[in-house]
Amino acid sequence: MPLLLLLMLLAAGAAGAESATPSLHIGVNYGANADNLPSPTSVAAFLATKTTIDRVKLFDANPTFISAFAGTPVSLAVSLPNSALPALADKATGLDAARSWIRANLSPYVPATNVTLLLA
């Protein structure tokens, strides 16, 4: 029975997908492990004005990188550091740890910077 219900839901979704306008996004990974990189503000301005790229994955919560995307239409996915994962995974304290991390690392830049996703 659950399999039949799942198939029915998938079929209903597929039928409606034909009439829906697709929303396509292009994203890139952006890190600082290289030589002679342009400044984060130059990269953000270039991506926002000269490309169709509207998603960027940052490998850490580098304040310079995050603030460089302020005022741009680019959405950021920010990776959490491995050192934060044990506290975030703890059932008893994980939610408080997540709120604390967001408050310290992202809140100063939002809403000017569009952070839409945290990655572990």
Q: Domains of the chain: which residue ranges?
A: 25-119
What is the Cα gyration radius of the chain?
19
Confidence label for 103 from pLDDT (cuts 50, 70 and 90): very high
Mean pLDDT of the chain: 87
Per the CB < 8 A criterion, the answer to whether 68 and 44 are in contact is: yes
Q: What is the average pLDDT across 44-60?
A: 97
Query: Residue 106: pLDDT above 50?
Result: yes
Per the CB < 8 A criterion, the answer to whether 78 and 118 are in contact is: yes
Could you tell me which of 62, 71, 78 has the C-alpha nearest to residue 44?
71
The residue assigned the tokens 């198939």 is 7
